[in-house]
Amino acid sequence: MNPVVHFEMPAEDKNRIAAFYTKTFGWKTQMLGPDMDEYVLVTTTEPDENGRPKNPGTINGGFYKNPPTCRRSIRPS
């Protein structure tokens, strides 16, 4: 079985989410622009020359802009 090598989670405020995970876990973030739909690339551990995490059992990932329909469905009225 192939290992999990990437995660993605929704975020409403990319600056807030980046600051939180950087401060709380020491993750490195890279803000991508509008051409990449404001994606936030996250490095939780150092990658090897192929972009995969060097440490077994660790993964890197990112945050994508939370779609408006999703925001409406999870917020209380």
Q: Is the pTM higher than 0.85?
A: no
- DSSP for 26-57, please give it: --EEEE--GGGTT-EEEESS-B-TTSSBSSTT
pLDDT score of 10: 92
Q: Please, what is the average pLDDT of the chain?
A: 84
**Average pLDDT rounded to a whole number, residues 16-37:** 94
